[in-house]
Amino acid sequence: MSVDRNSTNWCGWGWQASRYDFKGHRDYFLSWIGARLGVDALHTSTPPVSPESIELPATRLTDADLQALSVAAGGADAMTTAPRARLLRALGRSLPDLLRLRRGDLPYAPDAVVLPASEAAVAAIMQLCREHDWAVVPLGGGSSVVGGIEPIDPRGRPVISLDMTRMCAMVSFCPQDRCATFQAGIYGPDLEATLAQKGWELGHVPQSFEFSTLGGWVATRSSGQQSNQYGDIADMVVSCRVVTPEGIVATWNGPVSAAGPDLDQFIAGSEGTLGVITEVTVHIHPKPKTHKINAVLFPDFALGSAALSDIVGAGLRMSYMRLSDEVETETYLKMSGPKLIQDMGLSALRVLGYGENKCVALVGTEGDPETVDREVGEAMAIAKRHRGLSLGGGPAKNWHRDRYMHPYMRDDLLDAGIATETHETAVPWSRVAAVREDVRASIHSAVKAQGLKAHVFAHLSHSYPTGTCIYFVLMYPVDAKDSIGQWKPIKAAICDAVVRNGGTISHHHGVGLDHKAWLVHEKGVAGMKLMAAACKAMDPTGICNPGKLLDT
Ligand SMILES: Cc1cc2nc3c(=O)[nH]c(=O)nc-3n(C[C@H](O)[C@H](O)[C@H](O)COP(=O)(O)OP(=O)(O)OC[C@H]3O[C@@H](n4cnc5c(N)ncnc54)[C@H](O)[C@@H]3O)c2cc1C
């Protein structure tokens, strides 16, 4: 297993020992962002409390309960109530999760943690929880950013955190069918390393790749950075096995079926509310021989957006295709520090029309060299028709190298009193401009209502012929006295603006606790009833991740 949870940052992202590498420009960037927000970020220090100072509520399970749980889980080392084990599974990695962890604000934690090593152990735990009416929260990497793993039950029952990460083996590999089956608790790097030994890959690389699992990806309908080429995780699932309180659901393992609704598509996105996904068969492909990514500059966001739409509309499956808006473009430039030569180059471009509103895009793909050259060439020709100017491969190389490092910066900014929140949605191409304007304006006014300033930017990624995902990032000064009370109206303003413009409440982060109130806008009242009925059929007493996705 590539991740030992004990070596991860208990109140932030990734490895405990890793920090964001500002490459010597930390002070420059903090001064710049501080000036944008009207605060002195450079001289602000708001470190987290020490984890040892946090007092978790005592477990509500008796010794006899714990004994029964450890027998079901497979032995004494498969069950724990150790404070650190409970703390590390008490919250995900959303902004409010980090704010609460850093303050030591943990009114709840799992009553026990179980770490089964087999599907039989998962089934035994599920059976025991059903008998005792204990809630079960399936846990993968714990990287949820929507309140997906909070160990709370609206009915107040004890909560067991069911950590799947010991179930991390490859079960079968069939290159002839282009399929491999894995236990669901396998982390991204382990899955890809196992396939790479055989010359194959899955190609699902969310930014959280290193710290998230196959089961978590399926349960949240995750999207990877190369989804344009390989699809979202739901497109890659061929079949799966789910342990529910009513027994095991094993979906048909084959290419396509017209035999009724597709159960895999119902399980994908169920967020632990149907049961525990134990095994997944995925569609794999031979490892690509090469990749090529170009950076392209557009005079403005509208032209860049039209280019991306035309590239995907032409059937070019660019595995890397991402357009930063003008504020994100500027922010990335500032993150790389003062650069005299770069600044001179950009000034020269101003006269050609690439001024204040310029936006940078990354366009590229992977595969065999001939196809890559041809497809990137065709995509660049389309970009050129929209006044896209090639900047070559240099900037893209840096992005590719650092792509898993950016989340670490959130912790540095929180240390300096600045919150970073993200929200993503998907809309048809025709609504991209409207949703961007409305979400940006709504954030600025929600933060202004608190007497503060926000820094807001967005990018397009995960594009489809019919529309695209738009991903927002906002930064604002943290109100140390009530950081959660401060966050709530900002989050609500974003969600309201998204649904007002016909966007989905989530393109890939999922629903959890945080987006639940807005789900009905997309599913409708009858659709919500259908989902609730399916959950009730598999989980009549509502023990599976209660309160997430749906009200239970
Ligand atoms: C810095 C950062 C970057 C991110 N980038 C991306 C990104 O690029 N793309 C993306 O899609 N998401 C991204 N996310 C969100 C998150 O990583 C995904 O939702 C991911 O799929 C969660 O996987 P996990 O294993 O960590 O699941 P967890 O966080 O442990 O669980 C998430 C949900 O799935 C359920 N679950 C987990 N395992 C199982 C199982 N075996 N059976 C049933 N239910 C289960 C949980 O109960 C919970 O509801 C990011 C998050 C962070 C913090």
Q: Does the CB atom of residue 447 touch ligand 1 within 6 A? A: no
Q: Does the CB atom of residue 9 touch ligand 1 within 6 A? A: no
Q: What's the rounded mean pLDDT across residues 453-476?
A: 98
- Strand stretches in 417-466, DSSP E: 418-428, 455-464
pLDDT-derived band at 346, boundaries 50, 70, 90: confident
- Positive or negative, the CA dihedral 208, 213, 219, 224 is positive
Distance of CA 87 to the CA centre of its chain: 21
Rounded Cα distance, 374 and 25, in Å: 38
Rounded Cα distance, 541 and 160, in Å: 15
Burial annotation 265-302 (CB, 10 A radius, 16+ → b, else e): eebbbbbbbbbbbbbbbbbbbeebeebbbbbbbbbbbe
**pLDDT over 80 (residue 269):** yes
Reply yes or no on whether 471 is catalytic.
yes
The tens digit of pLDDT for each residue in 135-178 reads: 999 999 999 999 999 999 999 999 999 999 999 999 999 999 99
**pLDDT over 80 (residue 233):** yes
Residue from 222, 235, 402 whose mutation best tests the ligand 1 pocket (most atoms within 8 A of CB): 222
Rounded Cα distance, 256 and 242, in Å: 20
Query: Which residue minimizes the CA distance to atom 48 of ligand 1?
Result: 148
Query: Which residue minimizes the CA distance to atom 20 of ligand 1?
Result: 217
Residue from 91, 136, 143 whose mutation best tests the ligand 1 pocket (most atoms within 8 A of CB): 143
Q: Does the CB atom of residue 288 touch ligand 1 within 6 A? A: no
H helix runs in 197-339, sequence order: 214-220, 227-230, 233-236, 263-267, 301-313, 326-335
Q: Does the CB atom of residue 510 touch ligand 1 within 6 A? A: yes
Q: Does the CB atom of residue 271 touch ligand 1 within 6 A? A: yes
CATH architecture, range 290-403: 2-Layer Sandwich (3.30)
Rounded Cα distance, 360 and 459, in Å: 10
Q: Does the CB atom of residue 212 touch ligand 1 within 6 A? A: yes
Q: Does the CB atom of residue 219 touch ligand 1 within 6 A? A: yes
The residue among 58, 47, 407, 33 whose CA lies nearest residue 211 is: 407
CATH code of the domain made up of 407-509: 3.30.300.330
Q: Separation of 48 CA from ligand 1 center, angstroms?
A: 24
Query: Which residue minimizes the CA distance to atom 21 of ligand 1?
Result: 217
The tens digit of pLDDT for each residue in 380-392 reads: 999 999 999 999 9
Judge residue 344's burial from the number of C-beta atoms within 10 Å of its C-beta, 0-12 exposed, 13-18 middle, 19 or more buried: exposed
The tens digit of pLDDT for each residue in 395-451 reads: 888 888 888 999 999 999 999 999 999 999 999 999 999 999 999 999 999 999 999
List the domain boundaries for the chain. Answer: 170-286, 290-403, 407-509
Which of 25-29, 32-36, 276-280, 402-406 has the lowest average pLDDT? 402-406
- Which atom of ligand 1 is the closest one to the Cα of 406? 1
Catalytic residue among 20, 187, 471, 476: 471
Q: Separation of 142 CA from ligand 1 center, angstroms?
A: 6
Asked if 13 contacts 93 with a C-beta cutoff of 8 angstroms, the reply is yes
Q: What's the rounded mean pLDDT across residues 5-13?
A: 96
Percent of the chain with pLDDT over 90: 93
- pTM for the full predicted model: 0.97
**pLDDT over 90 (residue 343):** no
Q: Separation of 141 CA from ligand 1 center, angstroms?
A: 7
**pLDDT over 90 (residue 341):** no
Q: Separation of 206 CA from ligand 1 center, angstroms?
A: 9
Q: Separation of 219 CA from ligand 1 center, angstroms?
A: 7
Tokens matching residue 74? 């497979």
The top-scoring range by mean pLDDT among 66-75, 330-339, 394-403 is 66-75
Percent of the chain with pLDDT over 70: 100
Which whole-number Å values give the CA distances from 196 to 190, 193, 213, 222, 283, in the listed order? Answer: 10, 5, 17, 21, 14
Mean of all residue pLDDT scores within the chain: 96
In eight-state DSSP terms, residue 282 is: E
Q: What's the rounded mean pLDDT across residues 126-131?
A: 98
Q: How high is the pLDDT of residue 340?
A: 66
Q: How high is the pLDDT of residue 471?
A: 98
Rounded Cα distance, 263 and 538, in Å: 13
**pLDDT over 90 (residue 348):** no
Q: Does the CB atom of residue 207 touch ligand 1 within 6 A? A: yes
Rounded Cα distance, 188 and 218, in Å: 12
Q: Does the CB atom of residue 420 touch ligand 1 within 6 A? A: no
- Which atom of ligand 1 is the closest one to the Cα of 278? 41
Q: What's the rounded mean pLDDT across residues 352-372?
A: 95
Rounded Cα distance, 449 and 319, in Å: 40
Q: Does the CB atom of residue 12 touch ligand 1 within 6 A? A: no
Class of the domain covering 170-286: alpha beta
Q: How high is the pLDDT of residue 398?
A: 85
Q: Separation of 201 CA from ligand 1 center, angstroms?
A: 20
Length of the chain: 552
Q: How high is the pLDDT of residue 552?
A: 80
